[in-house]
Amino acid sequence: MIEKWKRIIQSARHPLAITGAGISVASGLPTVSSRWRGIPLREIFTLHLFLNEPDRFYRCYREVLLGWNAAKPNPAHLALARWQIPIITMNIDGLHQEAGSPHVIELHGNLRELICLGCDSIFSSDLARTDNFPLCPSCQGRLKPNIVLVGEEVHHFSSAVDWVGRSDVLLIIGTRLEMAPCNQLPKVASRTGATMIRINQEAERIVPAILNIKPNESVHPFHQ
């Protein structure tokens, strides 16, 4: 299988990767199924809890930030970055950018930033490390982690559809793409006839193995 996938990627002109939690497991990161004090993160990172119990929300968020600080890109992130393959990710860990990937759509936002609910300004999540409930330095509005909470819409979805529509080989890594609206993306690829390669286990071993070849000179990363 690895040899076949290598050949497919070698001849790709517009490869694209869609990544989910599975690619970051080897970096030691929690997933939405992980628990904080016995409660799954998906039940804490909700708009409802943020608005109604911000202190509890931020206590959990601060602990997640500590774990995130310790995480580093693994060989799967680094191999995708070396090839400069554009990436659509559901992860909020920013490890693709840290690995050096220049073109990344973060569908679920990221842990680097806070966004002001008053003026939409973006600030570093460092502001949440000390304040119990950080406020905007410009307008004193409430700052919300710039991650997509349960109850909010994903970011940049139309760009993601556009990227998938222009790709000829799609690497689907560490996600089964079962949840709406991301389950639409493989359907777009099916319509355009793109080849899909699904890697659900051991991404940190398999992705470098299939990309351990010289990138084709004619591969063109496309821009947003």
- Asked if 39 interacts with Zn ion (CB under 5 A), we say no
Q: Which residues pair with 142 in a beta bridge?
A: 135
- CB of residue 119 vs Zn ion: minimum separation in angstroms? 3
- CB of residue 121 vs Zn ion: minimum separation in angstroms? 5
- CB of residue 147 vs Zn ion: minimum separation in angstroms? 18
Q: Is the dihedral of CA 98, 5, 181, 14 positive or negative?
A: positive
Task: Dig out the tokens for 28 from the structure.
Answer: 């030691």
Query: Could you tell me where the DSSP H helices lie in 71-202?
Result: 75-82, 95-99, 127-130, 157-165, 184-192
Binding residue (CB under 5 A) for Zn ion from 2, 39, 122, 139: 139
According to the annotation, is 60 in a ligand binding site? Answer: no
Binding residue (CB under 5 A) for Zn ion from 29, 116, 182, 189: 116
- Asked if 149 interacts with Zn ion (CB under 5 A), we say no
According to the annotation, is 182 in a ligand binding site? Answer: no
Q: Which is nearer to Zn ion, 117 or 154 (CB)?
A: 117
- Asked if 115 interacts with Zn ion (CB under 5 A), we say no
According to the annotation, is 136 in a ligand binding site? Answer: yes
* Residue that has been written with the tokens 């869609």 in this structure: 18
Q: Is the dihedral of CA 102, 105, 110, 114 positive or negative?
A: positive
- Looking at residue 128, its amino acid is A
Q: Which stretch binds Zn ion (CB under 5 A): 17-25, 67-75, 139-147, 166-174?
A: 139-147
Q: State CA 6 to chain mean position distance.
A: 24
Q: Which is nearer to Zn ion, 26 or 128 (CB)?
A: 128
Q: Which is nearer to Zn ion, 77 or 144 (CB)?
A: 144
Spatial strand order of the sheet with 143-147 comes to: 122-124, 109-116, 143-147
Q: What angle do CA 160, 162, 163 make, to 5 degrees?
A: 65
Q: Is the dihedral of CA 199, 186, 156, 16 positive or negative?
A: positive
- CB of residue 118 vs Zn ion: minimum separation in angstroms? 4
Q: Which stretch binds Zn ion (CB under 5 A): 10-18, 46-54, 80-88, 138-146?
A: 138-146
Tell me which residue of 51, 28, 56 sits closest to 41, measured CA to CA.
56
- CB of residue 9 vs Zn ion: minimum separation in angstroms? 44
- Asked if 141 interacts with Zn ion (CB under 5 A), we say yes
Q: Tell me the three state secondary structure of residue 195.
A: strand
**Which residue numbers belong to the known binding site?**
116, 119, 136, 139
**Which residue numbers belong to the known binding site for Zn(2+)?**
116, 119, 136, 139
Residues that bind Zn ion (CB under 5 A): 116, 118-119, 121, 136, 138-139, 141
